[in-house]
Amino acid sequence: MANSYFQFKQFRVEQAACAMKVCTDACVLGAVAPVATAHRLLDIGTGTGLLALMAAQRNPTAQVEAVELDAAAAQQAAANFAASPWASRLHLHALPLARFATGQPAPFDHILCNPPFFRNSLRSPSPQRTTARHTAEDTLTFTELANFAARFLTAAGQLTVLLPPPEMREFEQKAAAAGLFPLTRNVLHHRPGSKALRHITTFGRQQGAVTQQELPLHEADSEAYSSWFREVMGPFYLAL
């Protein structure tokens, strides 16, 4: 059974009310997304509030907004924000992305998203978990995410997304149709040479060569964390 909370060095994530708990790949997304120079950030589908909290820690001046359509998760994220050292810079919007867009928010310098991505697997009997895990017309679709980002990013703004490789290839097509193109791609592996687990891809309006890094979570011959993982997660994980 998952813990009811996850303790980081500078903040705590209560997660009992959220369908999707804190996980390693989402933590890596929060640690490597290029948010250091952004003035306004948005976390779409914030869940526990993890990515918004990590962005607030990494960027001490940014205003960070978060959108969450699930009422229970939104309430939990708001509580996590209020209990953090950056409560004054974190703002939660408990509504679907389409309704948030109707409010015509000011443009964002960076948008983060760990979107639903299971498409063909059996849906969970829990509607909350289905919304968090499965992309569908009644949740957050890839097209909706790409179109929102293209509309509400600044001219030099960027979108960073976490997806498995097949789903990322599909998302890249939707993003290109909206006018957003890959700039950097971080490929997560269990260990060097193993199958790719996730892509963390940053998109922008410029089209060109993509910078790619292969990032193993563990050393080649052990369960020990890799050196790059220890470096990027050092500011967050208690054990590092």
In 3-state terms, what secondary structure has residue 130?
helix
Name 3's Cβ contacts closer than 8 Å, sequence gap at least 6: 15, 21
Please report the pLDDT score of residue 170 as a whole number: 96
Task: Please state, in angstroms and rounded to a whole number, the distance separating the CA atoms of residues 171 and 203.
Answer: 11
pLDDT for 20 equals 86
Put simply, whether the predicted model's pTM sits higher than 0.75 gets the answer: yes
Q: CA neighbours within 13 Å on the CB side: how many for 206?
A: 10
Strand partners, 162: 200
Query: Cα–Cα distance between 182 and 17 in angstroms, integer?
Result: 34
Helix (H, G, I), strand (E, B) or coil at 70: coil
d(CA 219, CA 197): 15
**What pLDDT score does 206 carry?**
95
Return per-residue pLDDT of the chain as tens, 240 residues.
457 999 999 999 999 999 889 999 999 999 999 999 999 999 999 999 999 999 999 999 999 999 999 999 999 999 999 999 999 999 999 999 999 999 999 999 999 999 987 554 444 444 444 444 434 445 799 999 999 999 999 999 999 999 999 999 999 999 999 999 999 999 999 999 999 999 999 999 999 999 999 999 999 988 999 999 999 999 999 999
State how far the Cα of 36 lies from the Cα of 92, in Å rounded to an integer.
21
DSSP state letter for 175: H
Rounded to whole angstroms, the Cα distance separating 62 from 111 reads 12
Could you tell me which of 46, 61, 128 has the C-alpha nearest to residue 92?
46
Token pair of 87 as six digits: 């409560």
Per the document, the length of the chain is 240
Q: Give how far Cα 221 sits from Cα of 173, 224, 228, Å.
A: 37, 8, 16
pLDDT at 119: 54
Whether residue 176 contacts residue 149, with contact meaning beta carbons closer than 8 Å, is answered with no
Nearest to 113 by CA among 58, 151, 65, 79: 65
